[in-house]
Amino acid sequence: MGAWLNESMTWGNAFVLFIWAVVFLLIVLGFVTYAIYYERKVIGWMQLRVGPNRVGPLGLLQTVADILKLLIKEDTIPRKADRLLFILAPALAFVPAFAVLAVIPYTEKLYFADLNVGLLYYVALSGITTLGMVLGGWASNNKYALLGGMRSAAQMISYEVPLVISVVGVVLLSGSLNLRTIVAAQGDWFWQWNFLPQIIGFVVFYIAAVSELNRTPFDLPEAESELVAGYHVEYSGFRFAFFMLAEYVYVYAIAALTTVLFLGGWHPPAPFLDFVPGLVWFLLKFVAVVFSFFWIRATFPRVRIDQLMGLGWKVLLPVALLNVFLTALYLELFVK
């Protein structure tokens, strides 16, 4: 697919590309639908609850029913809300979440866009979602929504900084911002993957990524016990669904990015296992990362806002900077 995109663009090729984009969107929407089901079942299992088991066999249609309910609910807009921004905010939150997936390579030949600055593209677009959350909170003309939007801006901007700095070590080791090159630079054995040489950066990246997803224990923008529902408290129906869709698409994106940057992408853990297709290895690592996000949600309580900000600026940022200096020192002294 990547090689095909490098050919001259014609109307026929553009149509095929459009079809591929639609198919990929359906795949992502399918992931979102059953990631929610998977999360409910995993958390239910960990907390000794049953989880969805009524709608459809084994409860498989429960999330489908929930989505249908959201789509047919009445779409309400508060009378004193900023109507244009209120309508625009959910789309502004979702579109970047889907757009960043274009640069994720699944195998050596299966990818949509092979950008030399793919990592930079991901970081730049993912930051736009923050604007959608802030606009949604402000346009709602609701104090709780505004507080949720402000918390979202503070949290996501604060954790974006250590998140980006934590991957600088990976960029230094591979010498590229191209995600395919970063995967190719990781060795054939699992101890050569970046999660071990860059263990400090990996830990910082993982914590910052959970915060970027606004998930427990860092779900302060949506804290039900304090803000009713946070920045989307005034939203209903499919507009509310767009915010939830953006959150789970980012779960997909962050899990895929973690697999690419630190877990060897499509590489098997040992050379003698290369008879298994690379896409299978990618998906296994991807599922493991997604499972870890659900595990954390089932385990940890929500932190306070001062603890959240203190962790980002006083702990993660200095540690991420230390990792950059240690990596640069290693390359200077030991790599010729």
Q: What is the pLDDT of residues 229-252, one digit of tens each?
A: 778 888 888 888 888 888 888 899
Query: Same structural domain for residues 60 and 23?
Result: yes
Residue 61: how many CB atoms within 10 A of its CB? 16
pTM assigned to the model: 0.89
| Domain end call among 22, 54, 72 | 72
Residues in CB range of 14: below 8 A, 6 or more apart: none
Alpha helices in 100-190 (DSSP H): 118-126, 128-139, 143-166, 168-174, 179-184
Q: Is the peptide bond before 217 cis (omega within 30 degrees of 0)?
A: yes
Distances in whole angstroms, Cα of residue 252 to Cα of each of 22, 159, 185 = 17, 19, 23
Q: Which of 255, 259, 251, 261 is nearest to 219 (CA)?
A: 251
**pLDDT value for 260:** 93
Query: Same structural domain for residues 275 and 174?
Result: yes
Dist CA 257 CA 163 (whole Å): 12
Query: Same structural domain for residues 128 and 270?
Result: yes
CA torsion through residues 13, 18, 19, 23, sign = positive
CB of 268 within 8 A of CB of 276? yes
3-state helix, strand, coil split of the chain in percent (to 5) is: 70, 0, 30
- What total of structural domains would you count in the chain? 2
Dist CA 105 CA 304 (whole Å): 37
Query: Same structural domain for residues 61 and 84?
Result: no
CB of 255 within 8 A of CB of 188? no
* Residue keyed to tokens 């923008």: 221
CB of 175 within 8 A of CB of 185? yes
* pLDDT tens, the chain, 336 aa long: 555 555 556 777 778 778 888 888 888 888 888 898 999 999 899 888 888 888 888 888 888 898 888 888 888 888 888 888 888 888 888 888 888 888 899 988 888 888 888 899 998 888 888 888 888 888 888 888 888 888 888 888 888 899 999 999 999 998 888 999 999 888 788 888 888 889 999 999 999 999 888 877 887 767 666 667 778 888 888 888 888 888 888 899 999 999 999 998 889 988 888 888 889 999 999 999 999 999 998 888 888 888 888 888 999 999 999 999 999 998 888 876
Query: Same structural domain for residues 41 and 85?
Result: no
Query: Same structural domain for residues 8 and 115?
Result: no
Query: Same structural domain for residues 30 and 96?
Result: no
| Domain end call among 13, 39, 72 | 72
Query: Same structural domain for residues 94 and 166?
Result: yes
Residue-wise pLDDT for 216-225, tens only, equals 788 776 766 6
The b/e string for 250-279 (b: 16+ C-beta within 10 A; e otherwise) is: bbbbbbbbbbbbbbbbbbbbeeeeeeeebe
Domain of 108?
79-335
* Residue keyed to tokens 């997803």: 213
Query: Same structural domain for residues 38 and 139?
Result: no
Query: Same structural domain for residues 156 and 12?
Result: no
Query: Same structural domain for residues 165 and 252?
Result: yes
Query: Same structural domain for residues 55 and 103?
Result: no
CA angle 309-122-217, nearest 5°?
30
| Domain end call among 72, 88, 111 | 72
CB of 293 within 8 A of CB of 251? yes
